[in-house]
Homo-oligomer: A and B are copies of this chain.
């Protein structure tokens, strides 16, 4: 027993170190992109030597993929937490859209979005994996809820996945779109409220029973 905990302490340290490396690397990748991020600079920020860095991740590519993996896990966990759907239709949709928009307009989410967008030519897997984990996961969650609304007779029957995509498209057609191009609104919270109200109103007019 004692032997195990002692050995585990070493492993825990390694895990900690790994997390630290991922955090430092994520900062750089998200802010500067893949090409402009240098392994040497990461090693320097960490304080350790280059050899150590390479002992954790055998190459820049490996580190990059580990960072994306880490980030998408965090992204999805946040989203699922934000998407517990219960209560009145309009109210629930409004809460969902607001939570969703708040998540995806955060600086980190925008940076991640851009990073994957930028590098998914160089790393073809990256785009598909991210799509599965973030946009697709969100669509599925929302779609399942809409399915229940249809069963309850609150919404007209139809393809719930397509309906989910339309609602999400409406949500991101305003401030999110502009933020992606570096043209932010004066007040983000107000812009989000406006987008949410529009999206829900349009959606309900289109699909309510």
> B-contacting residues of A (Cβ < 8 Å)?
31-36, 114, 116-122, 124, 127-128, 130-131, 135, 162, 165-166, 168-170, 172-174, 177-178, 180-183, 194, 198-199, 201-203, 205-206
Contacts and interface: CB of A to CB of B under 8 A. Distances in A.
Nearest to A204: B206
A35 B35 contact: yes
B173 A169 contact: yes
A90 to B, nearest CB: 15
A174 B168 CA distance: 10
15 contacts: A31-B121, A35-B36, A36-B122, A114-B118, A124-B182, A128-B182, A162-B194, A165-B173, A168-B173, A169-B169, A169-B174, A170-B170, A170-B173, A202-B202, A205-B206
A173 B183 contact: no
A162 B33 CA distance: 32
A131 B202 CA distance: 25
B33 A183 contact: no
Given A172-B169, A173-B166, A181 B120 contact: yes
A10 B121 CA distance: 40
A166 B168 CA distance: 11
Contacts of A117: 114, 117-118, 180
B174 A162 contact: yes
A131 B180 CA distance: 10
